Amino acid sequence: MLLVRTALCWLAAGAAMGALLLGAKAVPMPVGVFRLFALHAEALLIGWMVQFAMGVAWWILPKYPRLPERGPAGPIWAAWLLLNAGVLLAGIGRSLGAPEATVVAGRIAELLGATAFAAAAWPRVKAFGR
């Protein structure tokens, strides 16, 4: 639930930034608006699409016959935390012109989040009922 709801938040925010960026091609806007580009791309590609796919996969992959039926909660919380920290660091970092190390740290956080998710989802990729 948290992954999908956070993805919806990024969609709402990313679409608003996109509307501003497209509007800035038509009417003069403060230069700062163009800096939103990096955050717009990070929010919609990773925050929205990737996170939404992770959330739906977590919901729909075959469950375990025992509790907790979707497996331990720890790795999926870690995935959520790392992925969103990564989007914030990489997106805001690049938009604000922060040192490149900030963007790299964000991308590493996203990778670690994806790794935590893959490790948690891996054993659930199996035939239903097994």
Partner 1 sequence: MPPITRWFVRSALLWFLLALSTGVLLAGGVSADIPGTDWIFPYPTYLHLLTVGWLTNLIFGVAFWMFPRYSAEHPRGSETLGWLAYAGLNAGLLLRLVGEPIQMSGGHARAWLLLSAGFQLLGAWAFVLNTWPRVKVK
Peptide bond into 68 cis (omega under 30): yes
Q: 43 and 20 in contact (C-beta within 8 Å)?
A: no
Q: 55 and 80 in contact (C-beta within 8 Å)?
A: no
| CB of 16 or CB of 104, closer to partner 1 | 16
Q: 46 and 110 in contact (C-beta within 8 Å)?
A: yes
Please classify residue 11 by burial: count the beta carbons closer than 10 Å to its beta carbon, then call 0-12 exposed, 13-18 middle and 19+ buried: middle
Smallest gap from residue 59 Cβ to partner 1 (A): 9
Q: Which of residues 4-63 bind partner 1 (CB under 8 A)?
A: 4-5, 8, 11-12, 15-16, 18-20, 22-23, 25-27, 44-45, 49, 52, 56
| CB of 55 or CB of 86, closer to partner 1 | 55
| CB of 99 or CB of 128, closer to partner 1 | 128
User: Which residues bind to partner 1, rule: CB under 8 A?
Assistant: 1, 4-5, 8, 11-12, 15-16, 18-20, 22-23, 25-27, 44-45, 49, 52, 56
